[in-house]
C-alpha cells in the first residue's frame, strides 16, 4: 500500500512540474509589409493623397496567441487617438495581417504619426510606427 501511495505521489509531482511550464515572456512579432504600393517608412505625401500601410503580426510563443490589434494616430505630437481596434480570435491569434488605407488630410507641414500595436494573451505588446508628413 505504501508503495502504491508513493507511486501516485510521484506521478502527481511529475504532472505538476510538467504543467508549470515556464513562459519565456517574448513580445509578439509585428512588422510592416513592404513593396508594391505599401508605405513602410516615414513619408512626405501631397494633401489628398491615398496611401496603404500593411501590417503582419504573429505570435512568438506557442501558447501566447495574439488577442488585440490597435491603430492610433497623433498629429504633430498630440496625444495618441485610437482610430481602429480589433479583438483577435481563431486563426488571427496565430498570424494576423491588416492593410490600413488612409488619405492625407492634415494641413501642409503637419506630421501624422501612425502607431500599430499588437497584444498577446499575456498582455505583452509590441508596436511599429511611421510618420506621414503633408507636403
Q: What is the pLDDT of residues 111-129, one digit of tens each?
A: 999 999 999 999 999 999 9
Total Cβ atoms within 10 A of residue 6: 10
- Using alpha carbons, list the distances in angstroms from residue 51 to 23, 31, 55, 62, 124: 39, 17, 13, 34, 29
Q: pLDDT value at position 97?
A: 98
What CATH number should be reported for the domain whose range is 27-134? 2.60.40.10
Q: pLDDT value at position 51?
A: 98
Torsion 83-29-127-20 (CA) sign? positive
Could you tell me the pTM of the whole model? 0.82
Segments in the chain below pLDDT 70: 1-23
C-alpha 52/C-alpha 69 separation (Å) is 17
Amino acid at each position: 500500500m505504501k508503495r502504491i501511495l508513493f507511486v501516485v505521489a510521484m506521478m502527481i509531482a511529475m504532472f505538476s512540474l510538467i504543467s508549470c511550464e515556464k513562459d519565456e515572456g517574448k513580445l509578439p512579432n509585428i512588422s510592416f509589409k513592404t513593396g508594391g504600393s505599401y508605405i513602410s517608412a516615414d513619408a512626405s505625401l501631397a494633401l489628398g493623397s491615398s496611401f496603404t500601410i500593411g501590417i503582419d503580426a504573429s505570435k512568438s510563443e506557442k501558447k501566447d496567441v495574439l488577442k488585440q490589434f490597435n491603430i492610433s494616430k497623433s498629429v504633430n505630437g498630440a496625444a495618441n487617438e485610437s482610430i481602429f481596434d480589433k479583438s483577435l480570435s481563431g486563426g488571427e491569434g496565430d498570424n494576423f495581417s491588416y492593410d490600413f488605407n488612409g488619405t492625407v488630410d492634415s494641413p501642409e507641414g503637419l506630421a501624422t504619426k501612425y502607431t500599430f500595436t499588437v497584444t498577446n494573451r499575456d498582455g505583452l505588446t509590441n508596436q511599429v510606427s511611421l510618420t506621414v508628413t503633408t507636403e
